[in-house]
Amino acid sequence: MYKIITKKSLNPTVTMMEIESPLVAKKAKAGQFIILRVDEEGERIPLTIAGVDPVRGAVKIIFQIVGATTEKLNHKAEGEYIQDFVGPLGMPTHIAGMKKVCVVGGGVGCAIALPVAEALHAQGTEVTSIIGFRNKDLLILEDEFKACSDKLVVMTDDGSYARHGNVTVPLKEMLDAGEQFDMIITIGPLIMMKFVTLTAKPYGVPVTVSMNPIMIDGTGMCGGCRLTLMQDGKRVTKFACVDGPDFNGYEVDFDEAMSRGRTYFDFERKAHEKACNLFKGV
């Protein structure tokens, strides 16, 4: 059992928790993830590690309340426990030797992008961060990004805060102005990562994307997290849990990934509604 040390609402649909897990806190690196179960009857869900405090043995997770399991998790309080918390899993984000990097985050994907930006900043890399949200009410982690970025641009789709537009607008402006990045690291909705990759392609800047497909065991056994990459003119299958979650954006078949991601949409929506009904009046 793993204790919930702290819990904080970041916006109406996103929650941050710190989980007591000393071994994970000691080993985890930026870009890796954990798999948890809320209770003995619960499903396994992957969540990216949003930060660690090895001294306190604390691991930070940030999750969006979209399904039955995240609904149940969000009803847990500080001091309560969850059943399982396994990790760190996956490969850390490769950042060694990079001098200038642009980190592009979208929505709750900013929770994944932040520890990468922090790790880059800690090693002396010049960090430009672009973060985007649908509206002001969904904004998260702005101050944290300011603290680890040499330059920060905040975008909202509806213009209710900061600049109006999506994250590709300032990215293209920077590339048109001659900015030279060693790497663009983008984390967020698949459609956003696809268009960040397409925006960068004419300029020849390497792009790393963080993929979070359907995942069950986290060890490469189930095959649920498979992705199709184009390598040397051939379609190659990789598994996000062990080969990723980071991949070369130019190789990813985003359309297939988006199609597979919608497979259980109706099922998950109904499961979420059922979970919400269970907590009514609680």
- What is the pTM for the complete model shown? 0.89
Confidence of residue 261 (pLDDT cuts 50, 70, 90): confident
Q: Omega into 213 within 30° of 0, i.e. cis? A: no
Q: Helices 190-200 and 254-261: crossing angle, nearest 10°?
A: 170
Give the C-alpha distances (Å, rounded to integers) separating 52 from 87, 107, 125, 238, 270.
12, 21, 20, 28, 34
Domain boundaries, given as residue ranges, for the chain: 2-89
Q: Prior bond to 189 cis, omega within 30?
A: no
Looking at domain 2-89, does it have CATH number 3.50.50.60?
no
Band (220; pLDDT cuts 50, 70, 90): confident
Question: What secondary structure, in 3-state letters, does 175-244 show?
Answer: HHCCCCCCEEEEECCHHHHHHHHHHHHHHCCCEEEECCCCCCCCCCCCCCCEEEEEECCEEEEEEHHHHC
Q: What is the DSSP letter of 138?
A: G
For 45-86, how does the pLDDT look when each residue is reduced to its tens digit (9 = 90+)? Answer: 999 999 999 999 999 999 999 888 999 999 999 999 999 999
Q: How many angstroms separate the Cα of 190 from the Cα of each of 57, 162, 194, 210?
A: 32, 23, 6, 9
Characterize 70-92 residue by residue with b for buried, 16 or more Cβ atoms within 10 angstroms of its Cβ, and e for exposed.
Answer: bbbbbebeeeeebeebbbbbbbb
In which residue are the tokens 């497909």 written?
213
Contact assessment for residue 16 and residue 8, using Cβ atoms and an 8 Å cutoff:
yes
